[in-house]
Amino acid sequence: MGWVKRAAPRALVVAVLCSLGGLVIAAEAAPSHAGAKAVDHKNEMIFSANQIDHNLSVYKIDRDNGGLVEVAGSPYATGKFPVSVAVTPNGKFVYVSNQGSESLSVFQVEPKSGKLTQVKGSPFAVGHYPDSVKVSPDGRFVYVANEDDNLVTAYKIAATGAIQRVGKSQPTGDHPIAITLAPNGRFAFVSNFNDDSVSSYLVNTKTGELKPTGARAKTEDRPIYVAVTPDNQFAYVANYGSTTVSAFHIDPKTADLTPVKGSPFMAGAQPYSVTVDPADHFLYSANWGSHDVTVFKLDPQSGELSEVKGSPFATDWYPYAVVVDPADHYVYVANNGAASIGAYKIDSATGALSQMVGSPFISGRGPYSLSVVDMAD
C-alpha cells in the first residue's frame, strides 16, 4: 500500500520527504544475544525500497561496527512507487513490488559486491496495486498481495529468478496490505486494512499454492504488517489505526489465529510494522505517528508482550519498516519522512536499543520497506 492509495497520512509524508535528509556515518558494535546460534555472519546486506525516488538502495552491513555502506552502483531504478522488497534466503534474487507500475522488478545480486542486474523479463506484471511481496522460506516461491483486487497470488521462481504464476489467485479480506509467511513455510497470513482482520492460509510446500482456511482473526483498527515468531507459534499485527499490537496463537494444524491473553498490547501512535528478533526474545514495533520504536519482551510460552525498560526509543520522522539483522546484533528502521535509515545496537540482555553514533544513514526519498539477508547463509 503506497502513498498513492492510502488515506490522509500520505499527503503529510510527501511534503516532509521533499525537505529532509540524513547523515552517512560510522556505527558502533554490539554483542549477540545469549543463546543465539553461533554463525559467522560475514556478508549481511540491507535492501531499501524508496517509494518517492522510484528506486532500490543496497547497503552492506559492516560486520565490525554495524554501519551501513552503500554499494557501488546503488541506487537501482525500479518501477513507480516501490513499496515492498523481499530477498531469497540465499541472497541471490531481490523482488520489488511497484505499486504505481503494477509490476514486480526482479534483480540478481552479485554476492561479493552487492551489484544488482535486472533479470530477463523484468519487470513482471502482477495485477493491480501490488502492495506486498514475500519470498517463501525455501526460496522457491514468491507471493504478492494486491490491495485493489483483494487477492493474493503465488508465483514460482525459476533458476533465472523469473517468476511464473502458480494456480489461482486466492481471495483476501478488504484491502490487503501485507502478506507474511511462517518460517516453516506451511502458513501464510494477510492483513486486511479495511475490515480489521487477518486472513489465514495453508501453503502447499510442493506447489506453492495457497488454500484459504476460511478463518479471519479480528484485529484492531487498520492492521498493516504481520510478524511470525521463529518457532511458528505466534503472530503479531501492527494496528495502524490505533496504538496497539495484536497478538495471536497459531494453530499448528489449521493456521487459525486465536488471541493471546492480554492482547492487544499498547504500542506507540499508529504502529506501522513489527518484527521479531531471530532469537525469539523481543518484538519491535515502528510507530509512524509517534516517531519511535516500542520494544517488547516476548514470553515464548504464552506469547504475551511486556514493554522493556526505556521503551519507546526515538527514531527520525515517520518510521515505516523495522528489521533485525540475521546476526541479532542490530535493528534498522526506515524513516519514510526523513529519507534515512536509523541504526540501533541491541542490548543482548534487555532488548533495549541504543542509537549508534552518527545514525541515521542517508537513503533515497521515502524509504518504505527494508529486507535484510546474510549472503553467507
The kind and range of the H/E element at 180 are: strand 176-181
Per residue in 237-274, pLDDT (tens digit) is 999 999 999 999 999 999 999 999 999 999 999 999 99
* Cell numbers representing residue 55 in the block: 528506486
- Supply the DSSP string of 107-175, one letter for each residue: EEE-TTT--EEEPTT-SEE--S-EEEEEE-TTSSEEEEEETTTTEEEEEEEPTTS-EEEEEEEEE-SSS
28 or 163, higher pLDDT: 163
pLDDT reported for residue 4:
35
Average pLDDT on 67-82 reads 96
Per residue in 208-245, pLDDT (tens digit) is 999 999 889 999 999 999 999 999 999 999 999 999 99
Average pLDDT on 332-337 reads 97
In angstroms, the first-to-last Cα distance of the chain is: 30
* Cell numbers representing residue 227 in the block: 510478524
b/e per residue 308-330 (b: at least 16 CB within 10 A):
beebbbebbbbbbbbbbbbbbbb
Average pLDDT on 296-311 reads 97
* Cell numbers representing residue 364 in the block: 533515497
d(C-alpha 154, C-alpha 285), whole Å: 28
Beta bridge pairs of residue 201: 188, 212
pLDDT reported for residue 70:
96
Confidence check: pLDDT of 280 > 70: yes
Domains and CATH numbers, the chain: 9-374 (2.130.10.10)
Side chain identity at 131, as an amino acid letter?
Answer: D
The kind and range of the H/E element at 68 are: strand 68-70
- Cell 520527504 maps to which residue? 17
d(C-alpha 160, C-alpha 317), whole Å: 38
* Cell numbers representing residue 62 in the block: 559492516
Q: What is each CA distance from 370 to 82, 94, 194, 208, 290, in whole angstroms?
A: 11, 11, 24, 24, 20
